[in-house]
Chain A
Amino acid sequence: MSYTPPLAEQRFVLETIARIDELQALPGFEAATPDLVEAVLTEAGKLAADLFAPLNVVGDKIGSKAVDGVVTTPPGFKEAYNAYAEGGWIGLGAHPEHGGQGLPFVLASAVQEQITSANMAFSLCPMLTLGAIEALQAHASPEQQALYLAPLIEGRWTGTMNLTEPQAGSDVGALRATATPAADGTWRVKGQKIFITWGEHDLTENIVHLVLARTPDAPAGTKGISLFIVPKFLVNADGSLGARNDARVVSTEHKLGIHGSPTCTMAFGDNDDCVGYLVGAENAGMRAMFTMMNHARINVGLEGVAIAERAYQQALTFAGERVQSAKFGGAREPVRIIEHADVRRMLMTVRAFTQAARAIAYLNAAAVDRAHAEADAAKKAEAQGLADLLTPVTKAFSTDIGVEMSSLALQVFGGMGFIEETGAAQHYRDSRIAPIYEGTNGIQALDLVGRKLPMDGGRHWRSLLQRERSFVGGLPKTGELGQMVPYLEDAIEALQTASVWISGNEGDKLADTAAGATPYLRMFGLTIGASLLARQAAEAARRLDVGEGDPAFLKAKIATARFFAEQLLPAAPALLGPITRGADLLYAIPEDALPG
C-alpha cells in the first residue's frame, strides 16, 4: 500500500490556482522560487512515501495507548518523527526569527497534504504543533516566544490545543476549567479536557499544552475565556527543562479511526499544582484560539483531500489488476475491472472531487499568504476576506469529500474493500473524524452563512462570484472548454440566487438560513471547485497549444474538469430548492412523533 506524492498535480495547482509566482513576488516570500518549490515537494514527498506511508497500517493496528500515564506510540513513529523534525520540516512556514523558513503557508499546506496522505494519524502531531506555533507567534509575549517557539519549530517539543470538555464541545463558551493567579505572577490551572489530540506521547522531551480556562470573575460564555501555556515539563529561564508539571493524561480513547494518534483525556491540576502562563490579555483567549483554528481548519480540510488522494491511488492500482467479468456488451473474455464503465465512473468521481477540493484548499491557503504579505491595504483586506470566506468551505466541503470518496474508493474493491487487510477500510475509518473535529461541518455551514457571507456587506462572496463569472464568460464557447460553459453558468447563477436569498433573511427568517446552510455550503464547494478546475483546464489548453509541459497530464486535466462540470456539477443548481425551502419541513413532525 504505497503512496506516490502527486507532484505534477500539486505543482500545477500551486502554479495556476495559488499563483505561487505572484506570492513569490511579495515581501518575505522571495525564496519560494519554482525550483525551490519543486525541491521542497520532491524531498518532503520522499519522507512521506518512504518513512510515513509504511507506518500507516502499523499505526492503525497497534495504536497509541495510555498505560499508567505513559503513552507509547506505535513502533517506528519516533524514528519517523525524528527524521521529520531534524529535517527542519516543521518550521517550513514559521517566522525566520525563531528558526523557521518563512515559506508560504500554501507550500506548507502542500507538504502537510503529502504527510497526511501517507499517514493521517501521524500528521496530526506536527499539525497541532503548527497551530501552537501560530497562536504563540500572534499572541504570546516576546519572553514567551523566546522560550517556547524555537523548540517547537525545531520539533524538539510538540504542541496541543485544549478546548473541549465533556459539557463544552461545539459550545466552547461552556467550558469550566479554571485558572487562578498565584503569588509569583503565574497561574494555577485546574480542570479536565477531553479529545486532546497527541496530548501525551513519547516522541519528544516536552509538550506545550495551550489550554483555554476561566479566570476568577470572568464573564460567562466565550467572552470570559483566557489562553494559557501549560508545559508538560516546566521550562527554566535558560530554556532547560525543570519540574514535571501537574498536567497528566488520564486515558486514551477507543476510536473508529486514526488509531496511531493518541486522543487523550487530560487532567490539569489534580494536585492543585498545575502551572500555567497567561497568553495575551485575560478574557482574550477565544480570539487567540481563532488564530490557531483558522489555519487548523484549512489543514483539516486538506485532510479530506489527502485521504481521498490516498484512497484513489489504492483503488486505481487494484482496478488495474483485478480481472472480473466480461465487459457489458463486449467480448466474452473477462477484463480488468478498470475497463468496466461503472468502475471508471467511480474512479473519475474520486479523482475529480479530490482535485476540486485540493484547488479550493490551495486557493484558500494562498489567500492567507496574500493577507499576510500584501503591502497594499486594499489588497490585504480583499485577500483576508477571501481567506475568511473560503475557510469553512475548505474545511467542510473537503472533509465531506474525504469520507464520500474514501467510501467510493473502497467500493471499487468490492468485497475485498470490506476486509481490513486490504487497507481501503482504514482510509474510510480515518477520514470519518475530519467532518467532526475542528468545528463540525454543520458549524462550518453556519459560519459560512451567518458570519462569512455578511462580512463587509457581502463584498467578498460577491467579488468571488463576479471573478468566476467573468472567467467563465471569457472561455471559448466551442471545443472542450466550451462544453463546460453552460454547466458553469448554471451553477454560478444558482449560487448567486442562493447567496442573495440567504443574505436577505432576517429576524425569524434566520431559522430558514440555518436550515439551508449545509446544502448551501455544498453548492458553494461544487461551484467554486468546478470553476477552479475549469481554470486549470484553460491553462492546460494554453500549455498544450504552445507545446509546454506533459501532454498526457494536461489532457487529463481538461478531461477531469469536464467530468466534474458535466457529471458532478449539475448537483449544484439542483440544491437551490433544498436551500431556499426553509425550515418548515425540518420541524414538520413534532419531536414526540419522531420515534416510529
Chain B
Amino acid sequence: MKILVPVKRVVDANVKVRVKPDQSGVELANVKMSMNPFDEISVEEAVRLKEKGVATEVVVVSVGPAQAQETLRTALAMGADRGILVTTDGPTESLAVAKLLAKIVAEEAPGLVILGKQAIDDDANQTGQMLAALLGWGQGTFASKVEPTADTVSVTREIDGGLETVELKLPAVVTTDLRLNEPRYASLPNIMKAKAKPIANKTPADYGVDVTPRLTTLKVTEPPKRSAGIKVKTVDELIEKLKNSGVIA
C-alpha cells in the first residue's frame, strides 16, 4: 500500500507571531518556518506503517512556495521515500489544496492519505474533509490510533465525549491528532540520504487546478491584551462579581 502525506510549511511553533503593520496578514519575512506539527505526526505515522511492512511507499506532497522543498526534505529525512512539490506563491486555501491533492491521488493511487488535522497557521481544519468529499472516500479525522488491515482501516478518533472508533474501507482519508504518536528526530544518515531522494516539481497548472483565492482577508489583528485581574477576599464576593458580570445567573 502506498501512503500519501501532504505537508505544509508554516511559521515555526516557537516563533512569536507578529501582525504586519498594514494588518493584511502576519509577518512571514525572515521568520523561522517549519513543518506543520500535525503534519510531522502524519509523516511519522506513515513511516511507522512502512517500517511495520504495512505500507510499501510513503510519498509526501507540499503545496506552497519554492522553499517548501525544505519541508519536503525534512519529511524525506524522517523516512518518506519521495516528494512532490506543487509551487504556488499566493495563499493556499483549503479547497484549492484539496483539489490539487485529489488530482495527485488520481495519479498516485495511494491506499491511504494521512493529513494533519489542521495547520497551525490558519487553523482551518478543512483540507482532509474536503479531500475525502472530492474523492468520495471515507474519512477518519482527529486520529489517535490508526490500524490498517488488508482492505480497511480502523481509526480511533478524539471527540468531545472521549474516543470513537470507526472502521473505513480503503482507500481512505485520515487526519491526525496530537496524541497519535511522537515524531522522531531525523538521524544524520537519513538527512544525508534525503538529499538524494527525488522531489518532482509541479505547478497547479500541471493539474489544471485554479488556485485563485476565493476568500478575502479584511483585517488581521492581534488578540486583545489580557487586562489585569482582581483579587477577591471571600467566596461570596467572587459569586457576586460573577453574577454582576453576567457570567452566572
Contact with A along B68-82 (1 / 0, CB 8 A): 001001100100000
Asked if B187 contacts A86 (CB within 8 A), the reply is yes
- A43 contacts B185, CB within 8 Å? yes
CA gap between A83 and B184 in the complex, in Å: 10
In the bound complex, residues from chain A placing their C-beta under 8 Å from that of B70 are 35, 38-39
- Per the bound structure, the CA–CA distance linking A552 and B192 in Å amounts to 31
Q: Inside 8 A of A83's CB, which chain B residues have their CB? A: 185
The reply to whether A36 and B188 contact each other, CB–CB distance below 8 Å, is no
* Contact of A39 with B194 in the complex, beta carbons under 8 Å: yes
Indicate which residue in A43, A550, A551, A552 contacts B191 across the interface (CB closer than 8 Å).
Answer: A43
Q: Which of A36, A89, A91 contacts B195 (CB 8 A)?
A: A36
Decide: A552 near B195, CB < 8 A? Known: A43-B186, A87-B187.
no
Interface string of A530-551 (1 = CB under 8 A from B): 0000000000000000000111
Shortest CB-to-CB span from B73 to chain A, Å, is: 6
Q: Does A443 belong to the interface (CB within 8 Å)?
A: no
- The answer to whether B30 has its CB under 8 Å from any CB of chain A is yes
How many angstroms from the CA of A7 to the CA of B185 in the assembled complex?
Answer: 17
Chain A window 544-579, contacts with chain B (Cβ cutoff 8 Å), 1 for yes, 0 for no: 000001111100000000000000000000000000
Contacts of A47 in B (CB 8 A): 185
Most buried by A among B14, B77, B186, B188: B188
Q: How far is the CB of B119 from chain A (nearest CB, A)?
A: 20
Q: Given that A35-B73, A83-B185 are contacting pairs, would A40 and B195 also be in contact in the complex, using a CB cutoff of 8 Å?
A: no
A257, chain B: closest CB distance, angstroms: 28
A88–B186 alpha-carbon span in the complex (Å): 10
- A88–B189 touching, CB < 8 Å: yes
**Residues of chain B lying within 8 A (CB to CB) of residue A549:** 30
Q: Are A31 and B192 in contact (CB under 8 A)?
A: yes
| Contact indicator B30/A35 (Cβ below 8 Å) | no
Residues of chain A from 5 to 19 with CB closer than 8 A to chain B in the complex? 7
Task: Give chain A nearest CB distance to B67 CB in angstroms.
Answer: 10
Shortest distance between the CB of A567 and any CB in chain B (Å):
27
Task: Given A86-B187, A88-B188, decide whether A39 and B73 contact each other with a Cβ distance below 8 A.
Answer: yes
| Chain A residues whose C-beta falls within 8 Å of the C-beta of B29 in the assembled complex | 550
Closest to A551 in B: B30
Q: Which residues of A contact B185 (CB under 8 A)?
A: 43, 46-47, 50, 83, 87
The interface bits of chain B over 184-221 (1 if a CB of A lies within 8 angstroms of the residue's CB, else 0) are 01111111101100000000000000000000000000
Q: Which residue of B lies closest to A51 (CB)?
A: B185
A101 within 8 A of B: yes
Q: Which residues of B contact A39 (CB under 8 A)?
A: 70, 73-74, 77, 186, 191, 194
Query: A40-80: contact bitstring with B at CB < 8 Å (1 yes, 0 no)?
Result: 10011011001000000000000000000000000000000
A55 CB to nearest chain B CB (Å):
15
Question: Closest approach, in angstroms, between the C-beta of B179 and any C-beta of chain A?
Answer: 18
Mask for B29-43, Cβ within 8 A of A = 1, else 0? Answer: 110100000000000
Given the contacts A35-B195, A36-B195, A39-B73, A552 and B30 also touching, CB distance less than 8 Å: yes
B30, A550: Cβ atoms under 8 Å?
yes
A36 near B192 with CB under 8 A, answer yes
| Closest A residue to B34 using CB positions | A42
B103: min CB distance to chain A, Å: 28
- Provided the pairs A33-B195, A553-B30 are in contact, do residues A101 and B188 lie with their beta carbons within 8 angstroms? yes
Contacts A35-B73, A43-B77, A550-B30 known; A89 to B192 CB distance under 8 Å?
no
Task: List B contacts of A552 (CB < 8 A).
Answer: 30
A86→B184 CA distance, assembly (Å):
11
A36's partner among B30, B74, B191 (CB-CB below 8 A) is B191
Q: In the bound complex, how far is the Cα of B12 from the Cα of A46, in angstroms?
A: 13
Q: Which residues of B contact A44 (CB under 8 A)?
A: 188
Per-position 1/0 for B1-33, Cβ under 8 A of A:
000000000000010000000000000011010
Which residues of the other chain, B, contact A88 by a CB distance below 8 angstroms? 187-190
State in angstroms the CA–CA spacing of A47 and B187 once bound together.
Answer: 10
CB of A425 within 8 A of chain B? no
Q: Name the B residues within 8 Å of A46 (CB-CB).
A: 185
Q: Are B73 and A92 in contact (CB under 8 A)?
A: no
Report the minimal beta-carbon distance from A249 to chain B, rounded to whole angstroms. 31
**C-alpha gap A92/B77 in the complex (Å):** 15
Instruction: List the A residue with the shortest CB-CB distance to B188.
Output: A88
| Interchain CB contact under 8 A, B195 and A87 | no
Question: Complex: how many Å from CA A31 to CA B188?
Answer: 12
Minimum CB distance partner of A46 in chain B: B185
Chain B residues near A43 (CB-CB < 8 A): 77, 185-186, 188, 191
CA distance A31 to B194 in the complex (A): 11
Q: Which residues of B contact A89 (CB under 8 A)?
A: 188
| A99 nearest in chain B by CB position | B189
Shortest distance between the CB of A167 and any CB in chain B (Å): 42
Task: Give chain B nearest CB distance to A592 CB in angstroms.
Answer: 60
Question: Distance (Å) between the CB of B79 and the closest chain A CB?
Answer: 13
CA distance in complex: A47, B185 (Å): 7
Q: How far is the CA of A7 from the CA of B74 in the complex (A)?
A: 16
**B47–chain A nearest beta-carbon distance, Å:** 15
B32 nearest in chain A by CB position: A7
Within 8 A of A (CB), among B163-193: 185-192
Q: What is the bound-complex CA distance between A379 and B99, given in angstroms?
A: 57
Write out the residue numbers on chain A whose beta carbons fall within 8 Å of the beta carbon of B192: 31, 36, 101
CA distance A88 to B188 in the complex (A): 5
Judging by beta carbons under 8 Å apart, are B189 and A101 in contact? yes
Residues of B within 8 A of A550 (CB): 29-30
Name A90-118 residues within 8 Å CB distance of B: 91-92, 101
Q: In the bound complex, do residue A31 and residue B189 qualify as a contact, i.e. CB atoms below 8 Å apart? A: no
Whether B188 lies near A92 (C-beta < 8 A) is yes
Q: Which of chain A's residues have a CB closer than 8 A to the CB of B194?
A: 39
CB contacts (< 8 Å) of B77 on chain A: these are 39, 43
**Looking across the interface, which residue of chain B has its beta carbon closest to that of A4?**
B14
How many angstroms between the C-alpha atoms of A39 and B77 in the bound complex? 9
| CB <8 Å contact, B30 and A40 | no
- Which chain B residue shows the least CB distance to A92? B188
Closest-by-CB residue of A relative to B194 is A39
Query: Which B residues touch A551, using CB under 8 A?
Result: 30
A160-B220 Cα distance, complex, nearest whole Å:
57
Chain B residues with CB under 8 Å of A7's CB are 32
Whether B73 pairs with A40 at a CB distance below 8 angstroms is no
- Chain B nearest CB from A211 CB (Å) reads 30
Question: Is the beta-carbon distance between B187 and A91 smaller than 8 angstroms?
Answer: no
A373 to chain B, nearest CB (A): 18
Q: Which residues of B contact A36 (CB under 8 A)?
A: 191-192, 195
Complex CA distance for A450 and B30, rounded to whole angstroms = 47
A91 & B188 in contact (Cβ 8 Å cutoff): yes
Please indicate the chain B residues that have their CB under 8 angstroms from the CB of A4 in the complex.
Answer: 14
Cα of A396 to Cα of B145 in the assembled complex, Å: 54
Given A550-B30, A552-B30, also A40-B191 (CB < 8 A): yes
Residues of A near any B CB (own CB < 8 A): 4, 7, 31, 33, 35-36, 38-40, 43-44, 46-47, 50, 83, 86-89, 91-92, 101, 549-553
**Known pairs A36-B195, A101-B188 / 4 extra A-B pairs, C-beta < 8 Å:** A36-B191, A46-B185, A101-B192, A552-B30
Q: Which 3 A-B pairs have the closest CB atoms?
A: A550-B30, A88-B188, A87-B187
What are 27 A-B pairs at a CB distance below 8 A?
A31-B192, A35-B73, A35-B195, A36-B192, A36-B195, A38-B70, A39-B74, A39-B77, A39-B191, A40-B188, A40-B191, A43-B191, A44-B188, A47-B185, A87-B187, A87-B188, A88-B188, A88-B189, A89-B188, A92-B188, A101-B188, A101-B192, A549-B30, A550-B29, A550-B30, A551-B30, A553-B30
